[in-house]
Amino acid sequence: MLLLVDLDNTLVDRAAAFNAWARSFVGTLGGSAADADWLIDADKDGYEPRDSLVRAIGQRFEAAPDSGEIRQRLLFEHVPLMTLDDNVTAALGNARESGWKIGVVTNGATEQQMLKVRTLGLESLVDAVIVSEAAGVKKPDPEIFRLAASRLGSTGGMGWMVGDHPTADILGGQRVGLKTAWVSRGASWPEHIDAPDHVALTAAEAINAVVGARQA
């Protein structure tokens, strides 16, 4: 039984951590609340390429440090602000006790994403972590899901993908024949993409529903 799960804004609330950091960072540059809102919007939930965002920050703020420092701060300073909800920990534990093999499949820079995994204590809760930079391929490319399945010893193409991004996680999972559970975070499903098999507000609810359906 294969369970693949996204990291940012699925297992962990990346948005809350980044938004808090962004307001603090902008404050150190003498920026306003409107400037902080601009940075949060420009980040696009982490999907804006970092090099592009670094350039935009340098252009907007006269007091901005050099591009190398901005990039390092963008990548790493919000990580200590992340926390793992107890309900997520419990859901992952229940899944493993029920016989599921769990893999985290995340886009991003290897050093940053693995720091998140270690900071949150996820290494002891899952069986594998696949980061797009290290894998050389990123979601929604089907190959990253196949790689994750292979690392977990699954070759039959059966299992679930749980994530918050309609394209990267849900469409990507559908392309390789996985069932999918969408962590909506209160949003509405985009009509132009085939609907997921399950919708839940949080990762804990999604994981528990997947595990419960298998046990029923």
At the second CATH level, the architecture of 2-13+82-215 is: 3-Layer(aba) Sandwich (3.40)
Residue with tokens 């699954």: 154
Q: Are 113 and 138 in contact (CB under 8 A)?
A: no
Q: Work out the number of other CB atoms within 10 angstroms of the CB of residue 81.
A: 16
β-bridge mates for residue 12, sequence order? 8
Q: State CA 1 to chain mean position distance.
A: 21
pLDDT of residue 213: 81
pLDDT(215) > 70: no
Element (H, E) at 130: strand 128-131
Measure Cα distances from 183 to 14, 21, 97, 189, 193 in Å.
Answer: 13, 23, 22, 10, 15
Going by DSSP bridges, is the β-strand pair 2-5/101-106 parallel, antiparallel, or unpaired?
Answer: parallel
Is the omega angle on the peptide bond into residue 140 within 30 degrees of 0, that is, cis? yes
Average pLDDT in the chain: 95
pTM of the predicted model as reported, rounded to 2 decimal places: 0.94
The string of pLDDT tens digits covering residues 168-206 is 999 999 999 999 999 999 999 998 999 999 999 999 999
pLDDT class for 29, splitting at 50, 70, 90?
A: very high
pLDDT band at 158 (very low <50, low <70, confident <90, very high): confident
Confidence band for 216, pLDDT divided at 50, 70 and 90: low
The pLDDT of residue 107 is above 90? yes
Report d(CA 186, CA 87) in Å as an integer.
Answer: 18
Q: How confident is the model at residue 71 (pLDDT cuts 50, 70, 90)?
A: very high
> What ranges do the domains of the chain cover?
2-13+82-215, 14-81
Percent of the chain's residues with pLDDT above 70 = 98
SS (HEC) of 122-141: HHHCCCEEEEHHHHCCCCCC
Q: pLDDT band at 155, cuts 50/70/90?
A: low
Cα–Cα separations (whole angstroms), residue 71 to 100, 122, 135: 37, 25, 22
pLDDT digits (tens, 9 = 90+) for 119-134: 999 999 999 999 999 9
pLDDT for 37: 98
d(CA 55, CA 28): 18
Residue 59, burial from CB neighbour count under 10 angstroms (0-12, 13-18, 19+) = exposed
Helix (H) or strand (E) holding 106: strand 101-106
